[in-house]
Amino acid sequence: MNKPEITTDLERAAARLKDGGVVAFPTETVYGLGAVATEREAVEAVFQLKGRPADNPLIVHLSDISWLDQVADDVPEEARHLFAAFAPGPLTLVLKKKMNVPDVVTASLSTVAVRIPDHEVARDLIRLTGKPLVAPSANISGKPSPTTAEHVQYDFAGRDLLIVDGGACRVGVESTVLDLTVSPPVILRPGVITAEDIKEKTGIVVEASETEEARPKSPGQKYRHYSPQATVITVLPDQSFDEVVSTLSVDDLSSIGVFADEETLGSIKTGGLMAYSYGTSSSVDQAAKSLYAAFRYFDEHRVHFILAPLFREEGAGIAYNDRLRRAAHQVRRVLFVCTGNTCRSPMAEGLFNAAAPAGWLASSAGIYAYGGDTAAANAVAVMRRRGIEIGAHRSVPVTWDLLKQQTLIVPLTKEHAAALLDFDPSLKDKVRPLSAFAPDGKDIGDPFGQTIERYEQSAEAIEAAVDVLLAKITSGFFDNTQSDETIDDNEGP
Ligand code: TXA
Ligand code: MG
């Protein structure tokens, strides 16, 4: 198979673009698949090459702000203000479109997305071409965005494509997309420029659309994105990689890829894992820069699981976590919650994971847990009777990051459920007390400090309810987001 050619000759690349050709080029975020925005056929070729649905519009790239009125109409003051503060840079603005922008670019929307990339090679290429360029990320649809010329070459093997090499991209995740046609403006896709940065630098208050439901305005967000072939498992800030590895119970440890910094990799006790280091010590910027490259590396090496850390929801952590969660979405997580996370919830976690169907993973936490405590000896003992090992368990307190991560949150009692909803009412659709699955409909009492017989009774009650929960999962009950009514209809007596 012939490879697309990699070049650093910008004159040649510009000539090809002017000729109606397609050229991949670097930006500070990811590589783009470029074509002259006003050349309808060239833009169609971009859609065709990527295998991109026609209803997903493209971003128009400019070399500087003076070009803005060539593609946008009625440009609001805010847009000039924002570009003055952040351009060139990873901020895309959705504006009213000018007539001369072909419908194929904007998927027939009346708006156009515009940005000025912070990469010398990109701006020089646009300037030499003399026209605005469309540039979706230069990956085959459904693959991670490319952050090196070699990634683009890999995806488009056998195709006639010229790739301008500009080294590895500095940012590594795609630009922030901000819709300025609504008031207040809304972030349709998070990037490293956050709502907070925007407010700080310009005083403009924008809404960060947190939920999937709020996003379909950016058509691209409805498509499955950024997914490597392996199952991606997120590791929470207070979780250890060793702990997560042990829950996977795989025989071949080299089928697990770990994405982390060198310090963290060095502290992992489990031997034989595949590793991809993003830098010497923990840094969300470095992690964002390397995430897609790591996905590609692990896919090439055919790992089955990729473990990658979540960072705090701030700064670049917002965009990094967003991309990681999208990649990880095929793993659905269940969190069992009790008081101290040393008796009931670790037993529920162990029972669940011992019989969980593929793609489901349980963990546990305590509303009043200290963190770091082992499971009660009696809890460990009654689980061992069942061939389930929870001796390596360490208690974890309930945190907002942890809750956000879950498909389903299963408190051991209705009281715990009420406490969680008190803490965050928006969890309503995710929280189901274990009693909802218990054959007798009862809460699980706390055996803490009591006899092994009491622990055995608790274990049996938890087991019965977890069995019902697992049966519902296996029958596809949680495959789609479910309404309260459907849950109630299926509740135990
Ligand atoms: O960082 C980036 O933005 C990279 C580099 C190459 O510039 N480009 C990129 O393009 O990520 P693409 O096509 O992969 O993603 C563009 C996103 C999609 O989610 C698309 O739906 C959204 O921007 N978009 C484009 N035009 C839009 C419009 N008129 N209204 C709302 N969303 C729009
Ligand atoms: Mg893309």
Give yes or no for a contact between 54 and 107, defined as CB atoms under 8 angstroms apart: yes
- Which ligand 1 atom lies nearest to the CA of residue 90? 1
Asked if residue 144 has its Cβ within 6 Å of ligand 1, the reply is no
CA 328–ligand 1 middle distance (angstroms) = 21
Asked if residue 56 has its Cβ within 6 Å of ligand 1, the reply is yes
ω before 237 within 30° of 0 (cis)? no
State the Cα–Cα distance between residues 10 and 16, nearest whole angstrom. Answer: 10
CA 364–ligand 1 middle distance (angstroms) = 38
Site to substitute for ligand 1 among 125, 177, 291, most atoms within 8 A of C-beta: 177
**One-character DSSP codes across 377-426:** HHHHHHHHTTT---TT-B--B--HHHHHT-SEEEESSHHHHHHHHHH-GG
Q: Measuring from atom 32 of ligand 1, which residue has the nearest CA?
A: 218
Give yes or no for a contact between 177 and 186, defined as CB atoms under 8 angstroms apart: no
Of all ligands present, the nearest one to the C-alpha of 218 is 1
Q: What is the pLDDT of residue 399?
A: 84
State the Cα–Cα distance between residues 434 and 246, nearest whole angstrom. Answer: 25
Q: Please report which confidence band the pLDDT of residue 324 belongs to, taking 50, 70 and 90 as the band edges.
A: very high
Burial of 250 (C-beta count, 10 Å sphere; 0-12/13-18/19+): exposed
Asked if residue 88 has its Cβ within 6 Å of ligand 1, the reply is no
Of all ligands present, the nearest one to the C-alpha of 31 is 1
- Which ligand 1 atom lies nearest to the CA of residue 111? 29
State the Cα–Cα distance between residues 26 and 443, nearest whole angstrom. Answer: 57
The hierarchical CATH code for the domain 5-208 is 3.90.870.10
Asked if residue 106 has its Cβ within 6 Å of ligand 1, the reply is yes
Statement: the pTM of the whole predicted model exceeds 0.95: no
Q: Please report which confidence band the pLDDT of residue 218 belongs to, taking 50, 70 and 90 as the band edges.
A: low
Asked if residue 118 has its Cβ within 6 Å of ligand 1, the reply is no
Of 140, 142, 160, nearest to 152 (Cα)?
Answer: 140
Beta strands in 190-293 (DSSP E): 207-208, 231-235, 256-260, 274-277
Residue 219 has pLDDT above 90, yes or no: no
Of all ligands present, the nearest one to the C-alpha of 28 is 1
Across 178-207, average pLDDT: 97
Q: What is the pLDDT of residue 39?
A: 97
Match 């072939």 to its residue by tokens: 229
Phi and psi at residue 126, to the nearest 5°: -65, -45
CA 370–ligand 2 middle distance (angstroms) = 42
pLDDT tens-digit series, residues 261-320: 999 999 999 999 999 999 999 999 999 999 999 999 998 887 878 999 999 999 999 999
DSSP 3-state helix, strand, coil percentages of the chain (rounded to 5)? 40, 15, 45
pLDDT tens-digit series, residues 98-111: 999 999 999 999 99
Q: What is the pLDDT of residue 492?
A: 29
State the Cα–Cα distance between residues 195 and 155, nearest whole angstrom. Answer: 33
Asked if residue 30 has its Cβ within 6 Å of ligand 1, the reply is yes
Q: Where are the domains of the chain?
A: 5-208, 231-328, 332-474
State the Cα–Cα distance between residues 244 and 237, nearest whole angstrom. Answer: 12
Q: What is the pLDDT of residue 26?
A: 98
The hierarchical CATH code for the domain 332-474 is 3.40.50.2300
Secondary structure of residue 69 in the 3-state scheme = helix
Burial of 476 (C-beta count, 10 Å sphere; 0-12/13-18/19+): exposed
Task: Tell me, yes or no, if the two domains 231-328 and 332-474 fold the same way.
Answer: yes
Residue 183 has pLDDT above 50, yes or no: yes
Q: Domain spanning 231-328: which CATH class is it, in words?
A: alpha beta
Residue 409 has pLDDT above 70, yes or no: yes
Residue 168 has pLDDT above 70, yes or no: yes
Q: Please report which confidence band the pLDDT of residue 169 belongs to, taking 50, 70 and 90 as the band edges.
A: very high
Residue 487 has pLDDT above 90, yes or no: no
State the Cα–Cα distance between residues 53 and 107, nearest whole angstrom. Answer: 9
Of all ligands present, the nearest one to the C-alpha of 175 is 1
Q: What is the pLDDT of residue 217?
A: 60
Task: State percent of the chain over pLDDT 90.
Answer: 72
Alpha helices in 301-341 (DSSP H): 316-328
Residue 84 has pLDDT above 70, yes or no: yes
- The token pair at 126 is 């646009």
Asked if residue 411 has its Cβ within 6 Å of ligand 1, the reply is no
Asked if residue 29 has its Cβ within 6 Å of ligand 1, the reply is yes
Give yes or no for a contact between 138 and 121, defined as CB atoms under 8 angstroms apart: no
Summary mean pLDDT of the chain: 90
